[in-house]
Amino acid sequence: MPVALLDSQFKTLEEPTPDEHPIVVDVVARPAEIVAEIMHCLQKRQSGSSSTEATLQGAGVTGASKGER
C-alpha cells in the first residue's frame, strides 16, 4: 500500500463493536510482553474462561483508542 494512503486508512478506521470480541492492548510494553498478553487472552478464550472482551492492561495496544483490538 502506498504511504500516501495511510492517512486516509486511519481516518476511516472504526472501533470494533463488542460483538466482534476485540482484544485491546496497551503498546507501552515491550513487543514480547504484548505478544505474551495477547496469547494469554486468546488461550483464555479458547478454554472458554474469558469474557467477550479481554482488556490487556499494562501492555499498551489500544487500536484507535483505549479499547480492545
CB-CB contact of 26 with 58 (8 Å)? yes
Q: What is the pLDDT of residues 19-67, one digit of tens each?
A: 998 998 988 999 999 999 999 999 999 998 644 344 444 434 444 333 4
User: What does the domain layout of the chain look like in residue ranges?
Assistant: 20-69
Amino acid found at 30: R
Q: How far apart are CA 26 and CA 47, in angstroms?
A: 23
pTM attached to this predicted model = 0.53
Place of cell 478454554: 47
